[in-house]
Amino acid sequence: MHFSGKSNIKLPCERFSVVYKLFGNEKEAYAKAKDICLEQTVEFPEELVPEGVIADHIVGRIEDFKSIAGGESYEAVISYPVDCAAGEFTQLLNVVFGNISIKTGIKVERLELPEKLLSIFKGPRFGIEGLRELLKVQDRPLLFTALKPMGLTNEELSELAYKFALGGIDIIKDDHGLSNQSFSPFDERVRLCSEAVARANRETGRHCIYMPNVTAPYSDALARAKRAKELGAGGLLISPGLAGLDTLKTIAEDDSIALPVISHPAFQGSYVLSNNGISHGVLFGQIARLAGADGTIYPNFGGRFSFSKEECQSIARMSTEEMGSLKPIFPCPAGGMSLQSIPESLAVYGKDVIFLVGGGLFRHGDDVVENSRYFRKLVEQ
């Protein structure tokens, strides 16, 4: 069959680039780069690609290819037409890492997106500056904790929330496993915890907020987000690996909700923990910002998970570096953090960070109010 290759694309066509890390010897890595160009666009045999617009502009283009890591892997910069993303978040992700996510030895290392593409994203509603203004905290790291363990009654969870807020914690979230279980119904939990935090704020004069978990099937997630606001929640927690990145984006951009949203990494670990996938900085930094998260939770180095200090630093860097008009967001290191780890983490992250300590707050002593006050003193020194 003959294809004319004619297209209604108006040339020249602006392009965006993705930096890929490719594993194998030079010949194997370059073959992967060429394969990516086809697989992520036309998904068509190279010898049959129509000449003209499709071959010259639609097919991905290798802009750079070089050896890295002492020749153990290679880096390819591949560009695509902005129009291939269709102005959609889902299609952008499809072009970046669609079919090739099913192939081996390919890792997305960085997104290089022009303003024409970035401008279609609203991005974080609050970001670092807006969240600081909401909490009335300008000159120190923010403090984050979680309501746990699963199985406590909603009355017990709300009492915990009150004590955390009384002790000076800035953000209190549901543990990500709390949903709408029979032992912890969503509406009741959100109402009680919101009221408890508001009561503590009246007593302390602070501006602590409670963030319920709204991770759920799409229709339920949106409904729960709206219901959470009605019940007095000050923000929302969502796991986009479970609910969908575009669900996070939809909730973050909904003006009828207009609450800060924090992204949780549940179900996303396999993306970053091998030679196949997406780098830590891209997934938890760049993509989280495109989706509209105001903060991004990830396992800190030295905790019970396997992220290295360098990987955590890459998340913090891509959470805050210039990305068009998108606001910088808070890195939220978590995952088994202890109070003893705060000084070292302060040296790594500086003040624009939210430290999430959950179980570690209970290990410090029996009085969670005093434990929270101690946590706060550690970041105020």
**Mean pLDDT (whole number) for 249-255:** 98
153 lies in some domain:
yes
Q: Within a domain: residue 3? A: no
What's 313's domain CATH number?
3.20.20.110
pLDDT of 191: 98
- pLDDT digits 0-9 by tens, 225-245: 999 999 999 999 999 999 999
Asked if 312 contacts 348 with a C-beta cutoff of 8 angstroms, the reply is: yes
On whether both 91 and 31 belong to a single domain, the answer is yes
Domain boundary among 69, 95, 118: 118
| Average pLDDT for the chain | 95
Distance between CA atoms of 60 and 63, rounded to whole angstroms? 9
Q: Looking at the structure, tell me whether residues 198 and 296 fall in a common domain.
A: yes
Any domain includes 4: no
Interatomic CA distance for residues 51 and 49, integer angstroms: 6
User: Is there a domain that residue 6 lies in?
Assistant: no
Residues 103 and 162 in one domain: no
If you write DSSP's letter for every residue of 267-280 in order, what string do you get?
T-HHHHSSSSEE-H
> For 194-216, what is each residue's pLDDT tens digit?
999 999 999 999 999 999 999 99
Note down the domain range covering 205.
127-380
Q: Is there a catalytic annotation at residue 377? A: no
Of the listed 32, 107, 148, 173, which one is catalytic? Answer: 148
CA-based nearest residue to 25, from 69, 92, 74: 74
What element of type H or E holds 137? none
The reply to whether 154 and 57 lie within a common domain is no
Residue 229 appears among annotated catalytic residues: no
d(CA 274, CA 107): 9
Handedness of CA 267, 271, 275, 280 (dihedral sign): negative
What are the start-end ranges of the H helices in the chain?
26-39, 53, 89-97, 115-118, 127-135, 154-167, 186-204, 218-230, 240-243, 245-253, 269-272, 280-281, 288-291, 309-320, 342-349, 359-363, 368-380
Q: Phi/psi at 209 (nearest 5 deg)? A: -125, 150
Q: Are residues 298 and 241 in the same domain?
A: yes
| 143 & 110 share domain | no
Angle formed at CA 234 by CA 231 and CA 238, multiple of 5 degrees: 95
3-state secondary structure 53-92: HHHHHHCCEEEEEEEEHHHCEEEEEEEEEHHHHCCCHHHH
How far is residue 356 CA from its own chain's centroid?
A: 15
Same domain, 210 and 277: yes
Q: Do residues 46 and 162 share a domain?
A: no
pLDDT tens for residues 323-380?
A: 999 999 999 999 878 899 999 999 999 999 999 999 999 988 899 999 999 999 999 9
Q: Look at residues 118, 143, 165 and tell me which one is the last residue of a structural domain.
A: 118
Tokens of 81: 């037409």
**Into how many domains does the chain fold?**
2
pLDDT of residue 364: 83
Predicted confidence (pLDDT) at residue 2 exceeds the cutoff of 80: no
Examine the domain organization and report whether 101 and 149 are in the same domain: no
In a domain, 2, yes or no: no
- pTM beyond 0.85, yes or no: yes
At residue 334, what is the residue type? A
Six-digit token pair at 97?
């890492």
CA–CA separation, 42 and 232 (whole Å): 48
Same domain, 30 and 96: yes
Write out pLDDT tens, residues 7-64.
565 655 799 999 999 999 999 999 999 999 999 999 999 999 999 999 999 999 999 9
Residue ending a domain, among 76, 99, 118, is 118
Q: What is the CA radius of gyration of the chain?
A: 23
**Could you tell me if 256 and 361 lie in one domain?**
yes
Residue written as tokens 């973050």? Answer: 252
Which of 32, 107, 229, 264 is the catalytic position?
264
The answer to whether residue 1 sits within a structural domain is no
Question: Which CATH number belongs to the domain containing residue 58 in this structure?
Answer: 3.30.70.150
Residue 245 lies in a domain: yes
Q: Is the same domain home to 21 and 132?
A: no
* Domain-embedded: residue 7: no
